[in-house]
Structure 1
Amino acid sequence: MPLNIAVYGATGAVGKEMLTILAERLFPAGEVHALASRQSIGRELSYGDRTLKVKDAANFDFSKVDLVLMSAGGDVSKAEAEKIAKAGALVIDNSSAWRMDPDVPLVVPEVNAHELEARPKKGIIANPNCSTIQTVVALKPIHDRARIRRVSVSTYQSVSGAGQAAMDELWNQTRAIYVNDPIEPDALPKQIAFNVIPKIDVFMEDGATKEEWKMTAETKKILDPKIRLFATCVRVPVFVGHCVAAHIELEEELSPEEARDILREAPGVMLIDRTDEDDPMYVTPVESVGEFATFVSRVRTDPTVEHGLAMWIVSDNLRKGAALNAVQIAEVLVNNGVVRA
């Protein structure tokens, strides 16, 4: 029997992508409700070959739905997610509000799907940070084979990770530079056109940003609390697609050739890696857009540490980094019989 579903935050970039992916993957949905704030009531959104009219989330009866995919921001989620769960719906939340709650599973299905074998205590499942998702998908098969001690990552994160306003800002600033108009940062802290910004989210007491802390804490919760991870997160002038340069220290020796063999067979991973200068193969953000996979390229030895390995990881942050991961969680819940109509 089909599930009744609500997408809360449906007018945002991730919410729209959730609707698209639900239709693309033929998710067993009956009624699908697009929810947003009062200002968006009546706005039309595409869901496969259907058109949905946006409803007011504040007045919606959540007892009518079985599952809520939520991407309305941390403040809204903190205020509303538990109420929605108490009304009977299972919530899959894309914000950071619940990720570190010990009673809320933080899930990437290719990595820790075992967390979805029973209904969680609070009725909420958290979607990890976009860069964390693609990183742990690539690290998991390596960790299973050779145990990871430490990872140092630098991220190259597209502006869509900061929302539609940041995407508009990149477009407007790029145009302004060509016509010699003044640049006025608003959604992002500094000029993003033809620039990079080594600050995502707020600074913390130790000098790290909250985005960098998220990657560390979430990787430990999802993959292994013993892994040490250090991150530098950077916003780059790309519309969609996040990249991660990962330098890994392993407990056991693992050659790049064996690592490639492992990654070729890993769920969710697409290995695109050839260094022949006449026909090189590696993935950039542009090529990841619209794709479901986490792409891995440039697998090689890192000689600066014992048992060192390096790789380049790319993913569509609106898909695998957010909407797709949420839908995959929903699919596992359905297959496990945890959520029923």
Structure 2
Amino acid sequence: MNRHTTIERLQSMSGQVEAHYDDVQEEYDYFIHQNYKLQATSNPANIRVSQYKPCLNNIKKKLASLSVDITTVQLNITEEISEHECTIHQDEKRLNMSLLMYQQCIQMIEMSEARIEECKEDEQLASVNAKYNRKISKGAKRRAILGGVISFASGIGGFIVGAVLAPFTLGGSVAVSAAYGVAAGVNISAAVINGVNASECTDRADLHESTAKELRDDIQRLEEECEKEEKEMERLMSAIDSLTRSNEELKFVRDVAFNMLKFIYESSERLQEADGVLFEVIQETDAFELVPILLASNPGCALAHIHLHELQQKWEDVNNLLRRNLRY
């Protein structure tokens, strides 16, 4: 809703009323001339009611037309104010909702940033654990391979020594072979254990690396969410600025319309007062038509002078009232 367009429309309405005020003012100028003649007359017999009644009737018609215009403008301005109030209310609801969403975006970003920091720390820990277990796994594998080679060499060596000594030891070489066999068995068991430890460390390293990757993915997702929230915040801020300006303009126009309505209402009250007094003057002027009858039967009739005085007073009352109230 364009502020300037609305104000121009309100000014146009006001201009219509002002034009009718000018029409009434023209009739009032003629009324002043007639009232001056009436106030200058001291002899009731010189009063010709037919000379004064058209002036009063014309003013009354102009006031009635002006009253209709004022009523129409009042309705239009009231409707304009109602529309502005409705729009202001809707804009304020949207504004409050946007502000709430903006605060929610801030909270979401703060939570995401805190979670990102946690994920980074966890990712670093998982990466360190993965490297450590990978290192342990490699060491265990090397020990397992070395232990297997040694056990194999020990077994073969023991057998060869036993076989060589057999002719000379008369069977004693069997004990030597057995001893080497036991040693070989111990080395093989150690190699197996090292192999198992290497497998477990590899599994743990894989698990930590998988966890680290998931955490890196979470960090990327959270950062993307933060970017989306920041863009949404920019959009909301733009909407908030626009709604704030719109709301201020709507309130400005509404206040202008309120002031116009108040002024027109006061004008209407003044015109109603003037119309009431004018009605009394018209009645008094119509009643003065009986004065010539009184004067015909009694030229010096004091009642005729009383009627003249009352008529002059009524006209002067209307004159003062219109002079005060014909302002717009």
- TM-score normalised to structure 2 length: 0.22
Structure with greater strand percent: 1
More helix by share: 2
Instruction: State TM-score, norm by structure 1.
Output: 0.21
**Structure possessing the higher radius of gyration over alpha carbons:** 2
